[in-house]
């Protein structure tokens, strides 16, 4: 058997369906003929994956599914109970004996707000009943923790999810939401006096469109084409249901003029707009202040109950031309309503159901808004129409029209498209069956098998199946209370098997770590023995990665579809997660489009002999000053290459469109951008191990791979905050500047030494804006100036997304000692006056490095806006110093 020795032609990533790993294994052979021998030594090491773990996870967590179901069921009960009450007749209480229906929408609205107010009482009850557990947790997490506290037994197991959240917000922010709710209810009622019920049914679908648009405008949501298609299908389905009433109903729906119908339809649309604004407003503030949904609903209930309750007094004296409330035509006759309730016990029962169900419905709805989004809430809410229709048919409250079936089928299809249900079911149907469990008991888990050429670093062949190597792994937040805990965690970082997602900072500062499923019980026991508080943030890391991969695959398929069927010569990769080859193709495309001003530059080669490339943008031939931006030095931080690609695209595009700020910047500077300083690691994280951080250099031990390139730079190398262990994620390499990736960057920047004004390196995650230094707690000479410019950048980011909170300062003072970093080398050795590192969103460990692809464009855009403001401020200072 003759297998090629050339690395570019070797058999790579050969997949075997039953070979499912989680750790790496190598065989070093002197002859290619032993490749199969080595493989068969490992082939028996198979691991069984249960059927539920091989299928792609559904879009919702079990808790979110519960909330969605609760919202649909209680919302349907609420509508049906209202409809039940409206169908009841009783004597009008004026002595005339007239029999009238119970139509008191404003009083029913007050009852609904009363139901919401009950949520606040429930919240307070849970709040006080769980006080002990929350105080305990605060002691272990807060600044009051001491060396004595750690001996106090921890008991924070009680579920406090319903009351967890911030309590430092102004409750009056919910007055706006309650007013919107009231206005929507009142306008809908008034509209029904001017137009038909079928018009209301057809137009209520507009609430989803309005909510989607407002979410994009005010929440900076990125709705994909699938979301818009799903919304469109739901709206069409609701419209068909309404049209069927118009076509087939034998009962006329009122005698309204065209002008009245037009006015009524307009009022319905305005009412839906208020509803949309309400749910988007709720999402904005509940998310911003992390307010418990139960509490939020309660405050809305208080404001709505008090406001609408007071309005019932003037409503009693307002006479309207058309009303079914009674012969006296009052806008709302509360006295008559209570009299009718006394006369008909069914009205009391229906009203009680209405009050109780609205409490559950709005709690579930606001929870869905907080857990998912306001648009998802409105799409799910449309499903109530189907439930109400089925129950109404069963109770013979309405006639059956076959066209309605088509409408509801389209509605359900639309809901499935929006929530990704059909795509998940399709993947489930085509996914591979579970492997027999007989042999799985025999083996440890393995990631892949790599065969190396004798006395060479080149792999001959790799067998790999690492797509699901994080099944059952937990993402855990640790809360060290004292120096003993800090020392323990530092030892684990160097010698343990934990994957630290955030750095060890200080006591009372949370640390996010990933723990393997097989080791979780062991570490949990150790944490408890040491009285080290911890909580699980993500129960199955693989589920998060699966969801990310599914979305990336869908985006990739969409790009290919556009390229093939819509004549796009190049796939648009801006704002997405793509392969390194696609990044290189993008750079070449930009250079070919304007070769006079844009060029691809060679920076160096990687350990695996990939080319490290960047792009130079030189629009002003007279410009002599340069700035540098790099991304992707850590492999798993996928959002950073996407941010660099975004900047390349927007800088060129906006310069060509004569944007004043960009034109000024690019006429002053030549710009160099390197989207990935670690192509080997980046590709490995894409194909084999999603959470890989380092490069792919083979260690001296033969069993551990990679160097943390951001610890390998020669400035103060290995003086703190780095590891000498090749197996550590912060391994600084065998010597300062030892890695080919590091040498390439050093040589490139040193070739233009003295011309650099700014160095920026993007990382993730945490929302930090760092200045030098990392190797000790001293500050650079121009720290105040660097801080001020960073603050300008952060303010610009917040102008786009006010939810972003970046901390600014030196690496060592804000976080930890970290020697051998790019930023310290750039500032000290190259004398670049503005040398910064930015840790991009998210802020928290969930999703951490696995930022959903849908959020990438928003993060890239706001970062680009911040960088423009930051660079403009630097330019202004440099020009001022030159003129001075």
Report whether 359 contacts 118 (CB < 8 A): yes
Report whether 256 contacts 264 (CB < 8 A): yes
Report whether 644 contacts 682 (CB < 8 A): no
| Number of Cβ within a 10 Å radius of residue 96 | 11
Report whether 661 contacts 707 (CB < 8 A): no
Nearest alpha-carbon partner for 469 in 538, 545, 577, 536: 545
| Number of Cβ within a 10 Å radius of residue 491 | 10
Q: How far apart are CA 72 and CA 54, in angstroms?
A: 30
How far, rounded to the nearest angstrom, does the alpha carbon of residue 665 sit from its chain's CA centroid? 32
Catalytic residues: 839
Report whether 200 contacts 265 (CB < 8 A): no
In this structure, what token pair is assigned to residue 330? 């009052």
Residues 346-351: contacts with CB under 8 Å, at least 24 apart: 346/84, 346/85, 346/88, 347/85, 347/88, 347/90, 347/102, 350/81, 350/82, 350/84, 350/85, 350/88, 351/81, 351/85, 351/108, 351/111
Listed in sequence order, the DSSP H helices in 431-566 are 483-495, 520-529, 541-565
Four-CA torsion 694, 697, 699, 700, nearest 10 degrees: -150
Q: How far apart are CA 308 and CA 258, in angstroms?
A: 31
Nearest alpha-carbon partner for 271 in 204, 216, 332: 204
Q: How far apart are CA 592 and CA 489, in angstroms?
A: 51
Write the DSSP string, 582-597: HHHHHHHHHHHHTTTT
Residue with tokens 């032609």: 9
Nearest alpha-carbon partner for 424 in 696, 156, 56: 56
DSSP 677: S
Report whether 278 contacts 184 (CB < 8 A): yes
Residue with tokens 């579970």: 434
Write the DSSP string, 85-108: HHH-EEE-TTTT--EEE---HHHH
| Residue 534 to residues 405, 474, 478, Cα–Cα distance (Å) | 51, 12, 4
Report whether 87 contacts 275 (CB < 8 A): no
| Number of Cβ within a 10 Å radius of residue 569 | 6
The β-bridge partners of 834 are 758
How much of the chain is in helix, strand and coil states, percent to nearest 5? 55, 10, 35
| Number of Cβ within a 10 Å radius of residue 562 | 13
**Sheet hosting strand 625-630, strand order edge to edge:** 598-605, 611-617, 669-674, 625-630, 756-764, 834-840, 768-771, 807-810
Q: How far apart are CA 113 and CA 185, in angstroms?
A: 12
Report whether 687 contacts 641 (CB < 8 A): no
DSSP 705: B
Cβ partners under 8 Å of residue 678, min gap 6: 606, 632, 633, 634, 635, 694, 695, 709, 741
**Terminal Cα-to-Cα distance of the chain (whole angstroms):** 75
């Amino acid at each position: 058997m003759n297998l090629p020795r050339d690395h570019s032609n070797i058999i790579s990533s050969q997949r075997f369906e039953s070979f499912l790993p989680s750790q790496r294994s190598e065989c070093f052979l002197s002859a290619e003929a032993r490749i199969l021998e080595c493989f068969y030594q490992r082939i028996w090491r198979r691991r069984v994956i249960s059927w539920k773990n091989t299928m792609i996870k559904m879009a919702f967590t079990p808790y979110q599914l519960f909330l969605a179901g609760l919202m649909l069921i209680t919302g349907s009960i609420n509508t049906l109970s209202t409809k039940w009450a409206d169908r009841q007749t009783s004597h009008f209480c004026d002595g005339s004996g007239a029999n009238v229906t119970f139509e008191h929408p404003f009083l029913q609205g007050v009852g609904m707000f009363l139901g919401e107010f009950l949520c606040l009482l429930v919240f307070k009850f849970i709040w006080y009943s769980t006080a002990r557990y929350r105080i305990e947790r605060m002691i272990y997490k807060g600044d009051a923790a001491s060396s004595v506290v750690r001996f106090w037994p921890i008991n924070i197991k009680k579920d406090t999810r319903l009351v967890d959240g911030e309590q430092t917000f102004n409750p009056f922010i919910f007055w706006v939401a309650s007013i919107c709710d009231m206005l929507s209810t009142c306008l809908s009622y008034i509209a029904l006096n001017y137009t038909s019920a079928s018009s209301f049914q057809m137009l209520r679908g507009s609430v989803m469109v309005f909510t989607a648009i407002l979410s994009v405008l005010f929440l900076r949501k990125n709705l994909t084409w699938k979301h818009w298609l799903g919304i469109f299908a739901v709206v069409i389905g609701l419209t068909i249901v309404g049209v069927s009433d118009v076509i087939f109903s034998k009962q006329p729906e009122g005698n309204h003029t065209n002008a009245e119908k037009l006015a009524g339809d307009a009022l319905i649309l305005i009412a839906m707009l208020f509803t949309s604004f309400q749910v988007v407003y709720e999402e904005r503030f509940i998310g911003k202040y992390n307010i418990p949904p139960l509490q939020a609903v309660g405050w809305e209930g208080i404001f709505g109950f008090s406001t609408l309750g007071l309005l019932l007094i003037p409503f009693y004296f307002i006479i309207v031309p058309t009303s079914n409330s009674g012969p006296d035509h009052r806008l709302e006759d509360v006295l008559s309503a209570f009299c009718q309730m006394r006369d008909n016990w069914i009205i009391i029962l229906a009203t009680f159901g209405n009050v109780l169900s609205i409490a559950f419905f709005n709690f579930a709805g606001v929870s869905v808004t907080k857990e998912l989004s306001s648009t998802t809430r409105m799409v799910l809410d449309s499903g109530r129409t189907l439930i109400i229709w089925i129950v109404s048919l069963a109770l013979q409250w309405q006639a059956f029209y076959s066209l309605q079936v088509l409408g509801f089928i389209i509605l359900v299809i639309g809901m499935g498209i929006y929530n990704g249900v059909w795509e998940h079911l399709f993947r489930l149907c085509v996914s591979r069956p579970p492997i027999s469990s007989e042999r799985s008991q025999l083996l440890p888990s393995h990631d892949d098998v790599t065969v190396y050429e004798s006395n060479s670093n080149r792999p001959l062949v790799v067998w790999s199946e690492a797509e699901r190597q994080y099944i059952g792994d937990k993402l855990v937040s640790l809360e060290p209370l004292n120096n003993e805990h800090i020392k323990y965690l530092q030892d684990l970082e160097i010698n343990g098997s934990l994957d630290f997602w955030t750095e060890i900072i200080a006591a009372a500062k949370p640390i996010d770590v990933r723990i393997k499923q097989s080791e979780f019980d062991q570490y949990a026991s150790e944490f408890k023995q040491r009285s080290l508080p911890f909580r699980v943030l993500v129960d199955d890391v693989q589920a998060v990665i699966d969801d990310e991969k599914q979305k990336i695959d869908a985006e990739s398929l969409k790009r290919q579809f556009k390229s093939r069927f819509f004549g796009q010569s190049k796939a648009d990769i801006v704002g997405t997660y793509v392969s390194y080859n696609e990044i290189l193709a993008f750079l070449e495309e930009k250079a070919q489009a304007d070769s006079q001003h844009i060029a691809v530059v060679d920076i160096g080669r990687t350990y695996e002999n990939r080319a490290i490339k960047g792009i130079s943008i030189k629009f002003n031939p007279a410009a002599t000053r340069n700035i540098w931006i790099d991304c992707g030095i850590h492999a798993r931080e996928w959002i950073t290459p996407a941010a660099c690609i975004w900047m390349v695209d927007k800088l060129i595009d906006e310069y060509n469109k004569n944007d004043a700020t960009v034109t000024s910047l690019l006429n002053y500077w030549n710009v160099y951008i390197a989207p990935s300083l670690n192509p080997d690691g980046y590709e490995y994280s894409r194909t084999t191990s999603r959470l890989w951080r380092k490069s792919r250099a083979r260690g001296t031990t033969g069993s551990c791979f990679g160097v943390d390139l951001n610890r390998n730079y020669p400035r103060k190398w290995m003086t703190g905050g780095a590891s000498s262990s090749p197996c550590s994620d912060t391994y600084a390499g065998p010597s300062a500047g030892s890695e080919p990736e590091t040498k390439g960057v050093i040589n490139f920047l040193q070739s233009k030494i003295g011309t650099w004004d700014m160095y920026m390196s993007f990382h993730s995650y945490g929302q930090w804006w760092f200045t030098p230094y990392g190797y000790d707690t001293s500050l650079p000479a121009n720290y105040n100036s660097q801080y001020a410019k960073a603050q300008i950048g952060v303010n610009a980011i917040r102008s786009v997304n006010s939810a972003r909170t970046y901390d600014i300062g030196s690496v060592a003072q804000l976080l930890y000692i970290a020697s051998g970093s790019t930023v310290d080398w750039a500032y000290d050795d190259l004398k670049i006056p503005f040398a910064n590192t930015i840790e991009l969103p998210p802020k928290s460990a969930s999703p951490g490095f696995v930022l959903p692809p849908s959020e990438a464009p928003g993060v890239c855009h706001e970062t680009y806006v911040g960088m423009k403001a930051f660079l403009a401020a630097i330019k202004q200072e440099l020009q001022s110093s030159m003129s001075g």
